[in-house]
Amino acid sequence: MTHDELRAALPPYAAGELEEKPAAEVRAHLAAGCEDCLASLFRLPVGRPRDRGQRRLPRPGWLAPATAALLAIALAVLVAWTIRDLARREAEQRAESERAEARLVAAESARAAAAARGDALARALEAARADVAEARAALAAAAGDRPRLEAELAASEARVASLLRSIHRRDAEIDRLLGGAPERTLADLAAMPGFRVSGLEGRSGGGARGHLLWHPAQVAALLYAFGLPRGRPYRIELQLDDGRIASGPAFEVGADGDAVVPIRLPVVGARIRGTTVVRDPGGQTVLGARLGGG
């Protein structure tokens, strides 16, 4: 049968009135994928077979809508899974970026503290080397007074060694105290070289006062507060020089309303411009202080 003959046979085929042999040719033609005949067949009314002995096969386009629906559902599921996977990956990357930023801030603070200690040590060593050089020059200029000059040289070298030991002890003591040893008194910390004391003034009445001990080259400080009302916890907030507010540790006061709180700063002390003590929750400011430049 030609294409036109097959197309003309579509209405009786759809009505179930076509003989088996031409119906078989029509089915073969439709199975070959003729789009025009398939489209025409879908627009024709479907009839019943003329007798029970002739079984009418399903229309060739019967599976097309179901297949399209299944493909659409599968595609929707794939798209939803892809979006969820991309969202999960984005959240993981954001969390990793935040962790990397926190590690970078900590490393930068440690580097700045180490650089400050290194500068102080370098100045002390330079002064000690100058003393040694001066003693050696005097020794060369006065060879007749050798015993005395040698004694002065030995004394200078002993001072250098003592100075180095003192610097190491001081750094270790500072790190230990500011790293979480609130049992030391305010007077002990204030007596250490290089520390600064900033008074905290009450902001909400009630007679609360306090002090903040800090060091321009350290990433730790010590807050001493007294006269705070009891009953709710407190939280420390730090104002950085770039305008950001960094959240510090939370704490509770004792029976007498006093508290000694070690603070691990997010940056070195020279970049802290102020600190406040707020009630948590609620955020009511109780104490506040402005720090001098470092």
Position 183 scores a pLDDT of 46
Taking only the tens place, the pLDDT of each residue in 270-287 is 788 889 999 887 788 889
Q: So what's the pLDDT on residue 260?
A: 87
With 50 as the cut, is the pLDDT of residue 63 above it?
no
pLDDT score for 265: 80
Output the CA torsion sign for 31, 34, 35, 39: negative
Our measurement of the distance from residue 249's CA atom to the centroid of its chain's CA atoms, rounded to an integer in Å, reads 18
Our separate counts of H helices and E strands in the chain read: 7, 8
Contacts for 193 with CB less than 8 Å, ≥ 6 apart:
170
pTM of the predicted model as reported, rounded to 2 decimal places:
0.37
Distance CA 191, CA 282 (A): 36
What would the pLDDT profile of 115-154 be if each residue is shown by its tens digit? 888 888 888 888 988 988 887 777 667 666 778 778 888 8
Q: What mean pLDDT value characterizes the chain? A: 77
pLDDT digits (tens, 9 = 90+) for 233-268: 999 999 888 888 888 899 999 888 888 888 888 887
Q: Is the pLDDT of residue 185 over 50?
A: no
pLDDT at position 190 is 60
CA 269 to centroid of chain Cα atoms: 22
Q: Are 288 and 201 in contact (CB under 8 A)?
A: yes
pLDDT at residue 173 greater than cutoff 50: yes
Question: In this predicted model, what pLDDT tens digit does every residue of 144-164 receive, in sequence order?
Answer: 677 877 888 888 888 888 877
- Using omega within 30 degrees of 0 as the cis cutoff, is the peptide bond preceding 281 cis? yes
Does an H or E element contain 109, and which? helix 63-141
